[in-house]
Amino acid sequence: MATIEWRSPASEMAVRQFDIAAERLNLDKNVAGRLRRPDRALIVSVPTRMDDGSVHVFTGYRVQHNDVLGPFKGGIRYHPDVNLGEVGALAMWMTWKCSLVGLPLGGGKGGIACDPKKLSRNELQGMTRRYTAEILNFIGPEVDIPAPDMGTNEQVMAWVMDTYSQHKGYAVPGVVTGKPVDIGGSLGRREATGRGVVYMIMEAAKHLELDLAKCSAVVQGFGNVGLVTARELAALGVKVVGASDTSGAVWNAKGLPMAEFVLYKDKNKRVQGFPGAESVPGAELLELKCDILIPAAGEMQITGENAAGLKCKILAEGANGPTTPEADQILKEKGIFIIPDILANAGGVIVSYFEWVQDLQNFFWTEDEIRNRLREILNRAFHEVIGVSRREKVDMRVAALMIGVKRVARAMLWRGLYA
């Protein structure tokens, strides 16, 4: 993203991926130059009253990468490592993701550098409300619609929605997605990302002629995305043999007993110490033998350093940006089938789109309708990516990016440059 303030490993990686796709597409140089950078970025100070009476000033971000296809859309992340470059990279990936699956939405992302686990409910609420107030003029149902990401959940979305609505003087449910169903959220949104990952694994297994009932899986990051993915895979008969979170990693060669494991995580807020499994070092988890590996935590987990050690057949990227371009090259040589992030985890933004549409129409759908429409959109995108990958002789990631980038570029050329 060219200038110094954007510099971070994640943004450099996002731009490198974009450049590979742009070159394959022979993209107009002027359009490429524009797409390498976000439209707009906001850095805000978020003074928050802590429980001991002091005021702590957190730093918050909202980056809007591109809205040529529709309003900006993207999550809000609470994590100590959040910075402008990372949020910029995540916003760019949102642009390609929305475009790839054909949503009338652009790409954005936000976040606050903080450790939500160390904040009380009061502190979390105060920080969220002040952050919302600071970005208030830059979000809205027609402008930019946040959603949950790492470290945030439906409660945080409810506070964002309430703060925005209090300022407007009336309820505006369409300002965020991933809200509780009681205040205009959608059925199936909480499960959407994990469910989408599983639909894509099912398509990949068909494509590779693998019998899922004979497959094993490992999940890095047992949070919203990882937990739902693991639970739904187990329901299909997949043996989920390993899982991790920030507390550590656990392993059971016979398969983790899923119902008990989920209950344990729910109660203890960690996977470490689960009596039905052995503990393994977190770094080794990714290199355990399994058929399907699902990174569902942070960026750049699979790198030039550890990619050669991966033993899976399918890499399904629940997380955004878990694999570096160096690792991509190694995985390609090893013949590992990658379901790239902008396809594998697009279920979240697809059902967020459904939630937004339902809010705007004040007309709500059944969970079956949501599941079926989600699956239809994802399966269509999967086969489109396979088609481009075959025709253009590129890997799944480059194919997915080529489709996403091309739609955005075409729309930009139609709309022209306003100067």
Residue 404 neighbours by CB under 8 Å, 6+ apart:
21, 95, 96, 97, 99, 100, 342
Residue of the chain from 128, 224, 324, 389 that contacts ligand NAD (CB under 6 A): 224
Closer to ligand NAD at the Cβ: 215 or 225? Answer: 225
- Outline where 26-153 has alpha helix (H): 29-35, 84-100, 121-135
Q: How far apart are CA 264 and CA 176, in angstroms?
A: 30
Residue with token string 């995985």: 331
Q: How far apart are CA 315 and CA 217, in angstroms?
A: 10
Q: Does 319 bind ligand NAD (CB under 6 A)?
A: yes
**Binding segment toward ligand NAD, per CB under 6 A, in 217-225, 328-336, 365-373, 393-401:** 217-225
Count other Cβ atoms within 10 Å, centred on residue 336.
Answer: 20
Interface of this chain with ligand NAD, residues 134 to 163, rule: CB under 6 A: 148-151
Closer to ligand NAD at the Cβ: 163 or 323? Answer: 323
Closer to ligand NAD at the Cβ: 166 or 252? Answer: 252
Residue of the chain from 221, 242, 340, 404 that contacts ligand NAD (CB under 6 A): 221
Instruction: Name the DSSP class of 244.
Output: E
Q: Could you tell me how many residues make up the chain?
A: 419
Q: How far apart are CA 397 and CA 250, in angstroms?
A: 29
Residue 175 neighbours by CB under 8 Å, 6+ apart:
139, 140, 141, 145, 146, 160, 161, 164, 165
Interface of this chain with ligand NAD, residues 72 to 131, rule: CB under 6 A: none
CB of 108: closest distance to ligand NAD in angstroms?
13
Residue with token string 């902008």: 342
Residue of the chain from 246, 272, 306, 379 that contacts ligand NAD (CB under 6 A): 246
Yes or no: say if 68 and 98 are a contact pair by the CB < 8 Å rule.
no
Interface of this chain with ligand NAD, residues 165 to 184, rule: CB under 6 A: none
Torsion of Cα atoms, 75 then 77 then 83 then 85, to 10°:
-30
CB of 221: closest distance to ligand NAD in angstroms?
3
Residue of the chain from 110, 126, 223, 255 that contacts ligand NAD (CB under 6 A): 223
**Binding segment toward ligand NAD, per CB under 6 A, in 42-50, 238-246, 250-258, 371-379:** 238-246
Q: How far apart are CA 78 and CA 87, in angstroms?
A: 11
Closer to ligand NAD at the Cβ: 166 or 272? Answer: 272
Q: Does 359 bind ligand NAD (CB under 6 A)?
A: no
The helix/strand/coil state of 108 is: strand
**Binding segment toward ligand NAD, per CB under 6 A, in 32-40, 161-169, 240-248, 255-263:** 240-248
Q: How far is CA 379 from CA 68, 213, 235, 390, in A?
A: 25, 20, 20, 17
Q: Does 355 bind ligand NAD (CB under 6 A)?
A: no
Q: How far apart are CA 144 and CA 162, in angstroms?
A: 16
CB of 12: closest distance to ligand NAD in angstroms?
17
Does residue 109 carry a catalytic annotation? yes
**Binding segment toward ligand NAD, per CB under 6 A, in 155-163, 221-229, 255-263, 407-415:** 221-229
Closer to ligand NAD at the Cβ: 242 or 298? Answer: 298
The helix/strand/coil state of 249 is: strand
| Residue nearest to ligand NAD as judged by C-beta position | 223
What x-and-dash track marks residues 261-300 binding ligand NAD by CB under 6 A? ---------------------x-------------xxx--
Question: H or E element: which one contains 72?
Answer: strand 72-79
**Binding segment toward ligand NAD, per CB under 6 A, in 34-42, 45-53, 64-72, 220-228:** 220-228
Closer to ligand NAD at the Cβ: 283 or 413? Answer: 283
Closer to ligand NAD at the Cβ: 189 or 313? Answer: 189
Q: Which of 109, 179, 239, 406 is catalytic?
A: 109
Q: What Rg do the C-alpha atoms of the chain give, in angstroms?
A: 20
Yes or no: say if 351 and 189 are a contact pair by the CB < 8 Å rule.
yes
Count other Cβ atoms within 10 Å, centred on residue 284.
Answer: 14
Q: Six-digit token pair at 326?
A: 């160096």
Residue of the chain from 191, 245, 355, 359 that contacts ligand NAD (CB under 6 A): 245
The catalytic site residues sit at 109
Site of interaction with ligand NAD (CB under 6 A)? 148-151, 193, 220-226, 244-246, 282, 296-298, 318-320, 345, 348
